[in-house]
C-alpha cells in the first residue's frame, strides 16, 4: 500500500509516516520543510520525502494519482499566522485544501483530512460531540479564518462523498503535543512555555490561566489516526481525536515546571497585550471521544506527566531538531 502524507514532515505528520512504515507500507511525505522531523526515516527504503508545496499543481496531481491512501495534513496551524496573515491561512487551509479534495475525488482515492477542535468555536455546551453546533465569532475577527477554512473543507469532503462517492475520514484534533512539536518559543502553548522554562525566563500565561484544554500525546494520536484510517468501521465518518481530561493552562505551566524541575516564575498577561483586538480566546474545549472509542477501539493512554516528561527530554537534548 502506498501512502501520501501532505505535511508529512510536520509534527503530527512525522508520526503518521512512522506508523505506516511500522506497518510495512510505502510512504511519501510531501512538505515545504526540508524534512528535519523525518530525518530518522530517510534511510528507510519504504520512505521518500519530497520537499515541495501542495500548491504545485503537477506535483500534487502526480502524487495523489500514484498513491492508494491520501492524508492531507499540510496546513498553516500556527495561531499567530492566522491572526497576522489570514490571507496565507485561507490560501493554504481552504483553497489548497479544496484542490486536494478535488484530486482525491477525481482519482478515487480515500482521503484522510485533519480538521480541528476550532470548528466548534466557542460553543458553551461541553463536551463537544461530532454533531455539536459551531458557534463562531464575527468574520472581522481574524482568528476564525482557520476554523472556517477547515470547516469549509469538511463540507466539501462530505459533498464530494454524497455526489461522487469520495471515501474519507475526517479527524478533529484536540491539542496534540509531544516531541517534534513546533520550534521552541513558536506556535503552540507547550513549545512557548518550554522555551521560557529552558532559558530560565518567566513563563507568561495568557489571561488568568483558567482557560482549559485537553492535551493528547502525539504517539497515541498518530496510532488512533492510522487505525481509524485503515478500519472499515470508521469509513466516511468524522471523529474527534484527543482526550477528555481537562487541564487549565495555569495547571499546565505548573505541571511542566514540576516535571521538568524548572525554576522560572509563572506570570499572567492579558490576551489583548499578546494578540491585540483580533483574538478571542475560548474558555473551555473538551471533546466527546465516544465515537472514536466505539468505532476504532482507540483511546489516548499516556498521562500528561509522562507525555510532558518525554517532550521536555526531547527539547532539552536536541532543541536544534525542533
Ligand atoms: N497539533 C495539533 O494539536 C492540531 C490541532 C488541530 C488540528 N491540527 C491539524 O493537524 C495537521 C497537522 O498539524 P501539526 O500540528 O503537525 O502542524 P505542523 O505545522 O507541524 O504541520 C503542518 C505541516 O504542513 C506543512 N505545509 C504548510 N504549507 C505547506 C504547503 N503549501 N505544501 C506542503 N506542506 C506545507 C508545514 O511545513 C508543516 O510541516 C494540520 O492540518 C493541523 O491543522 C493539529
Residue nearest to atom 5 of ligand 1 (CA): 173
DSSP letter (8 states) at residue 202:
P
pLDDT score for 318: 66
219 close to ligand 1 (CB < 6 Angstrom): no
Which of 74, 44, 37, 45 minimizes the C-alpha distance to 59?
74
Report CA(313)–ligand 1 centroid distance (Å). Answer: 23
Is domain 2-181+215-243+286-300 in CATH 3.40.50.720, yes or no? yes
pLDDT score for 322: 44
Report CA(289)–ligand 1 centroid distance (Å). Answer: 22
Which of 101, 216, 227, 112 minimizes the C-alpha distance to 164?
101
Would you kindly state where each structural domain of the chain is located, as residue ranges?
Answer: 2-181+215-243+286-300
List, in order, residues 6 or more apart from 144 with CB less than 8 Å away. 121, 136, 137, 138
Q: Using only C-alpha atoms, what is the Rg of the chain? A: 19
Report CA(179)–ligand 1 centroid distance (Å). Answer: 15
In testing the pocket of ligand 1, which one of 10, 87, 321 has its CB within 8 Å of the most ligand atoms? 10
The conformational region for residue 174 under phi > 0 = left, psi -120 to 50 = alpha, else beta, is beta
- pLDDT tens for the chain, 322 residues long, are 999 999 999 999 999 999 999 999 999 999 999 999 999 999 999 999 999 999 999 999 999 999 999 999 999 998 889 889 999 999 999 999 999 999 999 999 999 999 999 999 999 999 999 999 999 999 999 999 999 999 999 999 999 999 999 999 999 999 999 999 977 767 788 999 999 999 999 999 988 999 999 999 999 999 999 999 999 999 999 999 999 999 999 999 999 999 999 999 999 998 777 766 656 678 899 999 999 999 999 999 999 999 999 999 999 986 554 4
75 close to ligand 1 (CB < 6 Angstrom): yes
DSSP letter (8 states) at residue 275:
H
11 close to ligand 1 (CB < 6 Angstrom): yes
54 close to ligand 1 (CB < 6 Angstrom): yes
Report CA(275)–ligand 1 centroid distance (Å). Answer: 21
pLDDT score for 283: 87
So which residues are the catalytic ones? 146
User: Distance between CA atoms of 161 and 221, rounded to whole angstroms?
Assistant: 25
pLDDT score for 276: 67
Amino acid at each position: 500500500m502506498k501512502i501520501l502524507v501532505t505535511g508529512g514532515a510536520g509534527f503530527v505528520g512525522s508520526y503518521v509516516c512512522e506508523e505506516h512504515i511500522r506497518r510495512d507500507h510505502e510512504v511519501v511525505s510531501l512538505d515545504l520543510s526540508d524534512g528535519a522531523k523525518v530525518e530518522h526515516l530517510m534511510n528507510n527504503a519504504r520512505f521518500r520525502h519530497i520537499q515541495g508545496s501542495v500548491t504545485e499543481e503537477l506535483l500534487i496531481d502526480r502524487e495523489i494519482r500514484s498513491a492508494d491512501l491520501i492524508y492531507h495534513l499540510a496546513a498553516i496551524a500556527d495561531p499567530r499566522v492566522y491572526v497576522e496573515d489570514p490571507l496565507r491561512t485561507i490560501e493554504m487551509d481552504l483553497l489548497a485544501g479544496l484542490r486536494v479534495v478535488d484530486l482525491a475525488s477525481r482519482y478515487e482515492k480515500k482521503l484522510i483530512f485533519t480538521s480541528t477542535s476550532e470548528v466548534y468555536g466557542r460553543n458553551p455546551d461541553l463536551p463537544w460531540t461530532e454533531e455539536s453546533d459551531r458557534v463562531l465569532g464575527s468574520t472581522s475577527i481574524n482568528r476564525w479564518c482557520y476554523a472556517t477554512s477547515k470547516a469549509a473543507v469538511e463540507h466539501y469532503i462530505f459533498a464530494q462523498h454524497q455526489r461522487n462517492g469520495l471515501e474519507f475520514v475526517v479527524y478533529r484534533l484536540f491539542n496534540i503535543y509531544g516531541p517534534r512539536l513546533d520550534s521552541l518559543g513558536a506556535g503552540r502553548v507547550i513549545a512557548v512555555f518550554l522555551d521560557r522554562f529552558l532559558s530560565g525566563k518567566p513563563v507568561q500565561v495568557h489571561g488568568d490561566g483558567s482557560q482549559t484544554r485537553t492535551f493528547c500525546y502525539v504517539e497515541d494520536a498518530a496510532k488512533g489516526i492510522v487505525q481509524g484510517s485503515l478500519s472499515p468501521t470508521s469509513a466516511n465518518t468524522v471523529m474527534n481525536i484527543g482526550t477528555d481530561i481537562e487541564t487549565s493552562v495555569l495547571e499546565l505551566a505548573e505541571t511542566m515546571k514540576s516535571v521538568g524541575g524548572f525554576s522560572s516564575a509563572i506570570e499572567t498577561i492579558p490576551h489583548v497585550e499578546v494578540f491585540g483586538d483580533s483574538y478571542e480566546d475560548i474558555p473551555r474545549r473538551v471533546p466527546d471521544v465516544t465515537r472514536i472509542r466505539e468505532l476504532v477501539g482507540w483511546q489516548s493512554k499516556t498521562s500528561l506527566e509522562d507525555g510532558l516528561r518525554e517532550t521536555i527530554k526531547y527539547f532539552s537534548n536536541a532543541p536544534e531538531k525542533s
